[in-house]
Amino acid sequence: MSALSAGLVGLGGGGALAAPSSSSLPVFGKPLPAHVAAPYVESWTGDSPAALAAASGNKYLTLAFLQTDTAGSCTAYWNGDTGRPISQAAFGRDIATLQARGGDAIPSFGGWSADTTGTELADSCTSVDAIAAVFKSLVTAYGISRIDLDVEGDSINNAAGIDRRNKAIAEVQHWARRTGRTVQFSYTLPTSTKGLEANGLAVLQNAVANGARVDVVNLMTFDYYDGAPHDMAADTRTAAEGLHGQLAALYPHKSSAKLWSMIGVIEMPGIDDYGPAETFTVENAVAVERWAEARKINTLSFWALQRDNGGCPGTGGSDSCSGIAQDTWAFSHTFEKFTSGGHK
């Protein structure tokens, strides 16, 4: 995700919850809804994701991030903290609680900090089988059905890492078919206001070449850093329209509706890292949610749930507030209608 996540070391756990036991986790993950709102949670803060979900009204969350502790390793931990392995001991109770409520979690690999330090899993690990084994371990440990891959910074230009990652995706998808599991993969990529840049498109082209199915492409529709004025809702639409055209060229046999169903957008509530020229307002969120419903895209998300409050007016790029005047959870309540056609 954006540079705001770099360098944070206050790594957090799942919190104490009255939740189902580990034995109640599904053996085979339940597919996510065709249209889902799933904001990111900064998992290093010590906040309980399940408690945040309950307070904000979210059923689905994207949990950031998984990465290796050192470059060259093939073992992934939550935020690179060796005390937070992929196991029931780390966020297992939170994820089980979300599932028991009818929701789920989407674990996310990468992010700016990992993608610029060689600790993104596929950059760090040179074994495709080992990368695939990490992905499989998420499915078996937590019973989840979607894995997100946030590729930016140095990672988006690392051709070897891109190729290994996509080969591992294809391997996991073969395993899922053989074992009757549902496993989706989403790519989270930076974008211009007109669609993916060449390096982001190359990630998807390599996936096609490796026979790796990409279920969702999430555009980070913020931090454009282009020095231009922005209507952030309009820019979300033009970025997604550009991606739609790019996907049409990659997947010429898919219908327009199917291509839209592969698209997701990730906003940053309030003032993003660039500054006030890139401010996503609650009114923008209303417009984007209506557009997303009309286009029937796959995923609506934002970075991050801990920012969904008005506690620091005028502050840009904060981890803990949006920088604009807003009601607490205003963005969550706006986007939550999107899940499974909530307008109906």
How is 281-308 classified by DSSP, letter by letter? Answer: -HHHHHHHHHHHHHHT-SEEEES-GGG-
What pLDDT is recorded for position 89? 95
What pLDDT is recorded for position 341? 55
pLDDT band at 263 (very low <50, low <70, confident <90, very high): very high
CA angle 203/335/187 to nearest 5° reads 10
What pLDDT is recorded for position 6? 33
Question: Does some domain include residue 69?
Answer: yes
CA dist 66 and 115 (Å) reads: 11
| Amino acid (1-letter code) at residue 143 | G
Please report, rounded to a whole number, the percentage of residues in the chain having pLDDT higher than 90: 90
278 close to 271: Cβ distance less than 8 angstroms:
yes
pLDDT in tens, 81-138: 999 999 999 999 999 999 999 999 999 999 999 999 999 999 999 999 999 999 999 9
Question: Does some domain include residue 344?
Answer: no
Residue 9 has pLDDT above 50, yes or no: no
Question: Does some domain include residue 94?
Answer: yes
Stretch 269-281: mean pLDDT? 97
Q: What is the average pLDDT score of the chain?
A: 92
Check residues 190 and 15 and name the one with the higher pLDDT: 190
Tally of domains within the chain: 1
Distances (CA, A) of 309 to 91, 269, 286, 303, 332: 24, 9, 16, 12, 10
Domain hosting 317: range is 3-338
Half-sphere exposure in the Cβ direction for 94 (13 Å, CA) = 27
Listed as own residue / partner, the contacts of 256-259 with beta carbons closer than 8 Å and 24 or more positions apart are 257/296
Residue 270 has pLDDT above 60, yes or no: yes
What pLDDT is recorded for position 28? 67
What are the backbone angles phi and psi of residue 61, rounded to the nearest 5°?
-135, 150
CA dist 77 and 75 (Å) reads: 7
DSSP state of 203: H
Question: Does some domain include residue 343?
Answer: no
Stretch 235-259: mean pLDDT? 98
What pLDDT is recorded for position 282? 98
Question: Does some domain include residue 172?
Answer: yes
218, 197, 223, 166: which is closest to 2 by C-alpha?
223
What pLDDT is recorded for position 47? 95
Question: Does some domain include residue 313?
Answer: yes
Question: Does some domain include residue 47?
Answer: yes
Question: Does some domain include residue 209?
Answer: yes
What pLDDT is recorded for position 104? 97
Report the CATH number that the domain containing residue 83 is assigned in CATH: 3.20.20.80
pLDDT in tens, 288-310: 999 999 999 999 999 999 999 99
What pLDDT is recorded for position 340? 73
